[in-house]
Structure 1
Amino acid sequence: QYGTGSQAANAISIYMGLVDAADKPKVLANLIADIRSHNNGITAGDIGYRYLLRVLDEAGRSDVIFDMNNRSDVPGYGYQIAQGATSLTESWQGNRISSNNHFMLGHLMEWFYSGLGGIACDTNSTAFKNIIIRPETVGDENSAKVTFLSPYGTIANEWTKTGKTFVMKTVIPPNTQSTIYLPAKAGSVITESGKDVRLNTNIKFIKLEGGKAVLKAGSGKYVFAVND
């Protein structure tokens, strides 16, 4: 662990690259264990919470993010709503003596786009030249729809999950490339516009990894379907 071992200290250390690669899994495990030990509660403040979300998202642990935020019984976004807030408050507790219109705690919005909706920029790219599409189907969420106006044009992603079928409609703007992650496993049937995904010459199937099919795709409009 780093510093006091708090959620903020460990998350910032991982995100900023202070943690040696060999130690990263252990620090991440300690971070998640701390969240679980607080009954999936938040201890990070305005500065640290953004890094906490980014680290969990990048580690493929959006399930933890969902567990932390899909509730109203502990201080957090849901708690603010339960206290009658109609905009973000300065305190997690939503107390009335602090500012009641305080955008600084709006970090979850980033995860709505990059995690739940799945649109992100490749960290080795500039200005969304290389796009990451990696939606996280967590909790009881069965659909999401996001759009983002990048310098190359609008990026759009919409997915629905019904039973054992996952459908995702994706728009990749001109002059860009994308890496697309679909929830899939060995034996899953993956199609694009109703045909085997491997038949689309604009798409390259890379591998199955960590419960996801990894594809490379150029600009265009796609309708993916995964059936287990």
Structure 2
Amino acid sequence: PDRNGKIFYTSITSLSHISKRGGHLVTGFLGTPYFCAALSENDCLKQAYDLLLKKDFPGWLYQVAQGATTVWEHWDGRRPDGTMWSAGMNSFNHYAYGAVGAWLYSTVLGLGQQAGTAGFAAARLAPRPGGGLNWAEGWHETPLGRYALRWEKDAVKTNVTFSVPANAEAELVLEPGAQIIASDGIAFTNGTARVGSGTYIVQYTK
């Protein structure tokens, strides 16, 4: 949706609710998957990362701090003092809040399919580094093979290494303001390039 559509409205509403709750989520199962997407799709990437990386309750890293290796049904399924939200309804492997994984793939890594294509014959790779993270890495298996992407960044530059399987192609879209240092022979126009199968390394500053 464009800025007049639902996602933009959700983004404005999200910022309002988050600010009233000290930067924390205030949704249940249905609303949580859309928060980070709504924010990042409307020029609020920093706020989306801030939300992802909250270490106190309620938040994903709060669960990690309590020893979680899967996503829980309740943010405070197990509390710091060892008590449980509920002994009767308290799954410690529950997908609903784990829906943020879709945002990690589609935005943090930027792995997606080009609009109007099928079977991942053409991918859109648009990584969006941020949140103080030094790197992110992932891949997606398709009928044509594996698309893989890794980005690493320091205080000066960002490296993006990515692979496109045989008989496939990809559009690489760098973050706004990227100044390319090394392109591995790829020709860019306004931060965007189209490539065929192979493995590439691009370096830029911002």
TM-score range, shorter chain: 0.7 to 0.9
Cα 1:153–1:137 shift into 2, 3 Å: same
Matched, 1:103 2:103: no
Match of 2:160 among 168, 180, 193: 168
Give the structure-1-normalised TM-score: 0.74
Matched, 1:58 2:41: yes
Conservation of the 8 A alpha-carbon contact between 2:3 and 2:42: no
Structure 2 Cα separation of the partners of residues 70 and 204 of structure 1: 35
Cα 1:20–1:189 shift into 2, 3 Å: closer
For the residue of structure 2 that corresponds to 1:106, the secondary structure is: helix
Cα 1:20–1:108 shift into 2, 3 Å: closer
Q: Which has the higher strand share?
A: 1
Runs of 5+ unmatched residues, structure 2: 79-83
Matched, 1:68 2:46: no
Matched, 1:190 2:181: yes
Conservation of the 8 A alpha-carbon contact between 1:83 and 1:94: no
Report the equivalent of 2:131. 139
Q: Per-residue displacement from partner, 1:120-165 (whole Å, max 9, x unpaired)?
A: 1224322222211111111211111111111211001111112221
Structure 2 Cα separation of the partners of residues 83 and 74 of structure 1: 11
Structure 1 Cα separation of the partners of residues 102 and 4 of structure 2: 25
Report the equivalent of 2:14. 31
Structure 2 Cα separation of the partners of residues 22 and 70 of structure 1: 27
Structure 1 residue 24, shift from structure 2 partner: 6.3
Conservation of the 8 A alpha-carbon contact between 1:206 and 1:216: no
Runs of 5+ unmatched residues, structure 1: 1-16, 194-199, 208-212
For the residue of structure 2 that corresponds to 1:107, the secondary structure is: helix
RMSD after superposition: 2.6
Structure 1 residue 223, shift from structure 2 partner: 0.9
Conservation of the 8 A alpha-carbon contact between 2:150 and 2:162: yes
Conservation of the 8 A alpha-carbon contact between 2:17 and 2:26: no
Matched, 1:158 2:141: no
Report the equivalent of 1:10. none
For the residue of structure 2 that corresponds to 1:47, the secondary structure is: coil
Deviates more, 1:27-36 or 1:169-178: 27-36
For the residue of structure 1 that corresponds to 2:14, the secondary structure is: helix
Structure 1 residue 25, shift from structure 2 partner: 4.6
Give the structure-2-normalised TM-score: 0.81
Matched, 1:220 2:203: no
